[in-house]
Amino acid sequence: MIRSLDALRVFVEVARAQSMTVAADRLFVTPGAVSKRVRELERDLGATLFDREHHTVRLTAKGAELYRVSQNLFDTLSSALTTFDQDVDTDIPLVVSCEPTITMQWLIPRLPDFYALHPNITLHLLAAGGPVDFQSTSIDLALRRDDFSWGPGVFACRVADEITGVVASPSMANSDREVVTILHTASRSSAWRPWRARFLSQARIDRELEFEHFYLSLKAARAGLGYAIGSIYMVADQTVSGELEAPMGFIADGSSYWLLSASCIESDERKRAFCSWLIEALAQTATAASVQ
């Protein structure tokens, strides 16, 4: 017995692509999540559906029969659902959960650009971070950094690398850095890790201050309290305006931002539009801030 239509949909995509990696890219999930879904389906049915060969897969006889039936099922379902298109209420907002500092510092100032391109899509923003419970909330999309596991049932699209830099007010950035105060954020305790040795080879710590959120540590940096670590997306506008400076530039810290969804992003016109805009807008921001 098949316990999940989602597993069947993943199977169909793997069969079409003849590759779990390619199927994962099309479904905006990890290859591991695809492999797990296929194994669960094979266990439910008590049959091997694919012969695995290096980086490709081939349907077995049982798999080919299931693929034929599944294609008909999804084609029929897709045809039936098109009759509902004209009844969709386009006034219903797309609920987007986003990490608080990026929401305030980056996303909100750029919403006029998004609405200019997509006047028929309304976003409802929620400022939050960490794991997302799509089942018990009204959240449609969540922008998160990959510092936690969101599980195999979540569709994910990578939208940008995280890029960070040491930032400070202009007066402090241009002063003698022999003795410094560094500013931490409790919400990302590892933020200084890729920068500490590099920055402190030129300076000695006089004092360390901790703030609960990224936004507060960056506010403290603008006030001249010390040096903070800022995501390029969180400080881009301030570096362009001259409120903050990044005396040592920016580097990728090895993490990334992902757009998460309980359903396939590519198959939803509004989600797909927001995801595409997000990727382009984040890239433009990183480029503009890096050349300052």
Identify the CATH number of the domain in which residue 151 sits: 3.40.190.290
Taking the CA atoms of residue 33, residue 39, residue 43 and residue 48 in that order, the dihedral angle to the nearest 10 degrees is 150
Q: Given the DSSP bridges, would you call strands 204-211 and 56-59 parallel, antiparallel or unpaired?
A: unpaired
Domain residues for the domain of 29 are 5-85
CB 255 within 8 A of CB 147: yes
Distance of CA 138 to the CA centre of its chain: 18
| CA 128 vs CA 42, 100, 189: distances in Å | 37, 6, 17
Q: Closest Cα to residue 195, out of 173, 226, 166?
A: 166
Domain-ending residue, one of 50, 85, 120: 85
Does residue 102 sit in the same domain as residue 151?
yes
Domain-ending residue, one of 62, 85, 108: 85
Per-residue pLDDT of the chain (292 residues; tens, 9 = 90+): 556 677 887 888 888 888 888 887 777 677 888 888 888 888 888 889 899 877 788 899 988 888 888 877 766 665 555 555 444 455 689 999 998 899 999 999 999 999 999 999 999 999 888 888 887 788 999 999 998 888 778 899 999 999 999 999 998 888 777 888 999 998 888 888 888 888 877 778 889 999 988 889 999 999 999 999 999 999 999 998 999 999 889 999 899 999 999 999 998 999 999 999 999 999 999 988 765 5
Question: What is the DSSP secondary-structure string of 202-271?
Answer: S-EEEEEEEESSHHHHHHHHHTTS-BEEEEHHHHHHHHHHTS-B-TT--EEEEEEEEEEESS-STT-HHH
Does residue 131 sit in the same domain as residue 225?
yes
Q: Given this model, what pLDDT does residue 4 score?
A: 62
Measured CA to CA, the distance from residue 292 to residue 239 in angstroms comes to 7
Structural element, H or E, at residue 142 = strand 141-145
The CATH number for 69's domain is: 1.10.10.10
- Predicted TM-score (pTM) of this structure: 0.68
Does residue 69 sit in the same domain as residue 115?
no
Tokens of 279: 């990727």
Tokens of 104: 């305030």
The total number of structural domains in the chain stands at 2
Distance of CA 215 to the CA centre of its chain: 19
Q: Given this model, what pLDDT does residue 69 score?
A: 82
Does residue 111 sit in the same domain as residue 186?
yes
Distance of CA 6 to the CA centre of its chain: 21
**Residue 141, strand partner residues:** 96, 261
Q: Given this model, what pLDDT does residue 88 score?
A: 46
Does residue 148 sit in the same domain as residue 292?
yes
